[in-house]
Structure 1
């Protein structure tokens, strides 16, 4: 069993996520595959290691002991991976692609330098809309992508990364909590048809019974940067503010500095996931694996 860490990695993910379904999404494999791997461990050890509960999972006594062993092995493997990359000493330029929101506002400034040290090579960052990043991965133009929308492609591996919240914002003060009827009093800058942000917003408005067709829409734009610039330059009309919806990461600093004002919908939180995406052919690529581990560790 110790020759193949995959099953123990699945076990660690189930324990940390406290859910078979969340572990499935995190690992980019089906839930039955997760269950099968846990069952293999239990058959190998001839004992129950995980009990499913209504509110998650619980480790048995042997499961607790296995978790301690697996954590030690995980650390040794990560340390060994770093040493192996030094031995390879292969000079490459690792190609990382991100969406506009992630690349410009979510990744900390020091992330690329830290990642470069982890893989002992240069990192080139490409920022594009999510669908373009996915296509570039398929075309082998980039090695790994960080995107805002779920991806269903047989030749790609998709892993959940972190959660994002969308908020309403304007260049003039607006109520911090917006009722559905408040939304009709604004002038709107919307994202283009088919964007992930627009899909999340449509879902929220449908649940709240809000009819977007009755909005006063000034324009549709294609990316986060365009949204920011359009709202920043909009006429400061306190009676009928110009608003849009954006990741709270993208405006955090401007909200703190009083440039923008943000609001949330009454009784509804607009949330979405960010995802890590790479080609299945890179499943055993040491540079890709170390980059994924580094990003999932929360250091990036």
Structure 2
């Protein structure tokens, strides 16, 4: 590849990243380049093409009409090129390459991390990036190899592989909290309690606690003094007696056994299908991805 062709390829790749991220800062971090270098490349590309590709303000960057058209043309090509380069790993003796996975916090902690702890030491050429995200990420447009979400959240056009057992939620509070407030006897009683809530982008606001009993489903919009988007902080607040928390059962079981937390409304929290690894059906899988997928695959 000549220097001029290489430069054109690099500039187009930089443009595609900046246009998708809509930020020089995020694009620079993703590409491992400095912001001045990215700005310089964009000016050179626009000068060479004689058209403005990016509209820049002090707060945002967005593609112009010409930029949108160019992005529509080149983005699928770059995805194909990157995929084919990743596929070359199958000709190596050992799995290698970089994989990007998006997952919720609980799935990252309980499903991905234990498998990676066993897998990574034996595969030094393998690099895996885990992005914790509560939203329903479009893994194709965001450049992920796969995602981990609840089975019911996976789009129908994706291949979904179970990677964990059934899950169950638990409502818990500390003994000190229940020394001041009565234990709820039904989910409706939660509206009278100080609940430690969570804000999820998927739901566009405070997450309503979900319950089910004898086929009857119930969502309760709880309120409280504290709102977090983090598991560890919700658990710590519950242990400190600051309110009731709605947590995955496996994360609080030890505290319940030790008496640090008290569980209530257990009969309203039945098991439900667990996590699935999902990825595009049209994408062939590299040796590295197949290795991770098979290591994560759950069998009861």
User: Structure 1 length normalisation: TM-score?
Assistant: 0.53
Aligned equivalent of 1:221: 228
| Distance change >3 Å, CA 263–CA 85, structure 1 → 2 | farther
How do 1:1-300 and structure 2 match up within 5 A? 87-89=92-94, 91-104=96-109, 106-107=110-111, 110-116=114-120, 121-131=125-135, 134-135=137-138, 137-139=139-141, 141-148=143-150, 150-153=152-155, 156-162=158-164, 163-172=166-175, 178-180=185-187, 182-192=189-199, 195=202, 201-202=209-210, 204=212, 212=220, 215-235=222-242, 242-266=243-267, 268-269=269-270, 271-297=272-298
Please list every run of 5 or more consecutive structure 2 residues that lacks an aligned counterpart in the other structure: 1-88
> How big is each residue's C-alpha offset from its partner over 1:154-187, in whole Å with a ceiling of 9 and x where there is no partner?
6632333332111101122769994345434421
**3-state SS in 2 of match to 1:102:** helix
Distance 2:258 2:264 in 1: 16
| Distance change >3 Å, CA 101–CA 93, structure 1 → 2 | same
CA contact (8 A) 1:99 1:148 kept: no
Q: How big is the shift at 1:202?
A: 3.5
Distance 1:118 1:286 in 2: 15
* Structural RMSD (CA): 4.0
Please list every run of 5 or more consecutive structure 1 residues that lacks an aligned counterpart in the other structure: 1-83, 236-241
Distance 1:92 1:209 in 2: 45
Q: How big is the shift at 1:100?
A: 0.5
Q: How big is the shift at 1:276?
A: 0.8
> How big is each residue's C-alpha offset from its partner over 1:201-250, in whole Å with a ceiling of 9 and x where there is no partner?
34539x7686735x553333323233223323444xxxxxx202111122
Count of residues in Structure 1 that have an aligned counterpart in Structure 2: 205
Distance 2:126 2:210 in 1: 40
Q: Comparing both structures, which one devotes a greater share of its residues to helix? A: 1
Distance 1:101 1:177 in 2: 26
User: Structure 2 length normalisation: TM-score?
Assistant: 0.53
Q: How big is the shift at 1:101?
A: 0.7
Distance 2:91 2:170 in 1: 44
CA contact (8 A) 1:187 1:218 kept: yes
Q: How big is the shift at 1:112?
A: 0.8
CA contact (8 A) 2:172 2:262 kept: yes
